[in-house]
Amino acid sequence: MTAVSMQKVMAIKSYQTQAQMLVKNYLLADPFIPYTSILGGILACKVAYDLTQLISSFYIKTYPGLTKIQRIEWNNRGISTIHAIFVSALSLYFVFWSELFSDQRRADLIVFRSSPLSIFVLGVSVGYFLSDLGMILWLYPSLGGIEYVIHHSFSGIAVAYSMFTGEAQLYTYMVLISEVTTPEINMRWYLDTAGMKRSSAYLINGVIIFFGWLIARVLLFGYMFYHVYLHYNQVIKMHTFGYVLVFGVPSILATMNLMWFGKIIKGLMKTLAKKRRG
């Protein structure tokens, strides 16, 4: 029996070693990281959708009573919330704490720096944008209008270019920090759909959205453009398409963010006015 047990242990260890070699030499090998990360991002979206559906069915009382399209949007927002937490946390790490993009620790040009991890994270984000854009177009306009199509298209193109070329990843991550506001936006929709628009939670969430949007989608974009200005001698050395993306995509997104910020201010003022009258 002992000999048989040892054979099983050795067989398991052999399979583990082979699996690790497969992951190391193929799935996570530098040339394959962009493709495996995109595929991983798409698969993660599917898992997040199914988990949101499963958990909501058991623990959210109002979920079964929603219409079919409302349940689809509910699950879709679960995907975007998980992606936002993942990518915004890692974006904050790369921009403010990682030595990868530090001016003081390295002498090479900051606009051409990348690492296997930075490429992998961008690939997962590309997988998300592809999945979400596909759902938006498939059910258009139920999950969002033309502004969502524009936002996801430009964001996906910019992130994919940065991932494949290794150019301007710092600025890509600066823009992706703005995803930190997505969970709050989704929570606003969840509370509204669940009939809690007049609750204190809805008001508190609205205040958080206001300050989060101001910092992550208005002020941070200003900081990004200032950083580009300070490092323009490096930015000008990028390929033409990358150069255009560094200025074009953030400018379009910043304009959209300002338009949405105006709507957020109006919505918050209306909610506060209703609370005072109530």
**Which residue would you say has higher pLDDT here, 274 or 38?**
38
pLDDT of residue 267: 86
pLDDT of residue 2: 59
CA distance 46 to 82: 12
- Position 3 pLDDT exceeds 60: no
pLDDT of residue 35: 95
pLDDT of residue 273: 80
> Would you state the torsion angle of the CA atoms of residues 209, 75, 41, 243, taken in this order, to the nearest 10 degrees?
-40
C-beta of residue 100 within 8 angstroms of C-beta of residue 15: no
Average pLDDT of the chain is: 90
pLDDT of residue 13: 65
pLDDT of residue 208: 96
Q: Model pTM?
A: 0.87
User: Across residues 189-212, what is the average pLDDT?
Assistant: 93
pLDDT of residue 12: 67
C-beta of residue 191 within 8 angstroms of C-beta of residue 267: no
Cβ atoms within 10 A of the Cβ of 164, count?
A: 14
pLDDT tens per residue across span 84-139: 999 999 999 999 999 999 887 677 899 999 999 999 999 999 999 999 999 999 99
pLDDT of residue 276: 76
